[in-house]
Chains A and B, each alone.
Chain A
Amino acid sequence: ELKVEQNPLFLSMQEGKNYTIYCNYSTTSDRLYWYRQDPGKSLESLFVLLSNGAVKQEGRLMASLDTKARLSTLHITAAVHDLSATYFCAVVEYGNKLVFGAGTILRVKS
């Protein structure tokens, strides 16, 4: 059974600082997704990572995938308050079934 672990589960950071969220998964998979969720809202797709070494960037967020280490990272550069949200990684188990991590609650303090 595929397990997905995220850490940290809670991250409080100052504006302007950098930090990384880690996503480890237990068995081989060919796709990994990052989603953002604002309180009480739906999930917004951020990145889709399909291959080993894939790196994608959007604004202050950059995601990477190492399939050999079964690890993905979501790096936040020069955080701003608007990035405060919960971030989930999700890994495909079979077919298109997504297994989600527990989520990382990010709070950016000004």
Chain B
Amino acid sequence: DAGVIQSPRHEVTEMGQEVTLRCKPISGHDYLFWYRQTMMRGLELLIYFNNNVPIDDSGMPEDRFSAKMPNASFSTLKIQPSEPRDSAVYFCATVGDRDSDTQYFGPGTRLTVL
């Protein structure tokens, strides 16, 4: 398996623009997590899904952030409008039934908002 795939790997945009981050989970994994990593705040859980349904979005910072999982093989995290303080590395991680206590992380998307 190719592992968790995230795109793009790097994104540079200007303040006010819409940003869409994408994640393809490992096939068969039915939990999907979105994290944000910054120097100041460390690794924060933003939202997670089970069987494409959002379970806990209490970590989503504000209404500018939204996440969807339209099917079992794809999820997006959207920021609209983006702000410089959104600059961070965003990780997607997934969990499957066979190894249900282990989260498998993607390589991350480094977002820079100018």
Check if A and B associate: no
User: Which A residues form the contact surface with B (CB < 8 A)?
Assistant: none
